[in-house]
Chain A
């Protein structure tokens, strides 16, 4: 059974600082997604990582995927308050599983002024 673990689960940081959220998963997969969820809202897709070594950047967020280490990272550069949200990674278990996504527990990020 695929397990997806994120750490940290809670992250409080100051504006302007850098930090990395880690997503480890237990079985082979070639697809990983990062989503953002604001309180009381839906999930918004941030990044789709489709191959080993994939790196995607959007604004102050950068995501990477190492399929050999079964690890993805979401790096935050010079955090701003607007980035406060819960961030989820989700791993695709493959076509034979019906492309089901297994989500990590989420990282609740609070950026303080």
Chain B
């Protein structure tokens, strides 16, 4: 059984489009995260939700908007995509302050 799943796995789209990435966890965790991994493999936190409440909101463009409909789901919507948004986006989940489990990643390519 997949613990943290993301869809889609690959996303190729043109500049200016709007896209969403979905994440679901079946681990019973109360905290979920979005990370961005750039082409140099550097990982940076973007957002975190604890029990559906936003607790981490890093300095990212406001074109990125997370939504957590319930504790098991955290989605990421991106408006007006730009070339620089191309990256791998990882969802993760944990009990707060404990080990984070990562999803398989979504490779976003903006052309």
Residues of A within 8 A of B (CB): 31, 33, 35, 37, 41-45, 48, 86, 88, 90, 92, 95, 97-103, 105-106, 108
Beta-carbon contact of B42 and A105 below 8 Å: yes
Beta-carbon contact of B104 and A42 below 8 Å: yes
* Stretch with Cβ within 8 A of A (4 or more), from B20-28, B61-69, B73-81, B93-101: B93-101
Beta-carbon contact of A45 and B99 below 8 Å: yes
5 interchain pairs, CB-CB under 8 A: A31-B97, A95-B97, A100-B45, A100-B56, A105-B40
Chain B positions within 8 Å of A44 at CB level: 102
Complex Cα–Cα for A105 and B41 (A): 7
Chain B binding surface, main DSSP class: strand
**Beyond known contacts A33-B100, A90-B43, A100-B56: 8 more, CB 8 A cutoff:** A41-B105, A44-B102, A48-B98, A95-B97, A99-B48, A103-B43, A105-B40, A108-B41
- The chain A residue sitting closest to B100, CB to CB, is A101
Chain A binding surface, main DSSP class: strand
Assess A98 versus B48: contact at CB under 8 Å? Given A33-B99, A43-B90.
Answer: yes
Beta-carbon contact of B55 and A45 below 8 Å: no
Beta-carbon contact of A92 and B43 below 8 Å: no
B50 interface contact, C-beta 8 A: yes
Nearest-neighbour CB distance to chain A for B14, whole angstroms, equals 24
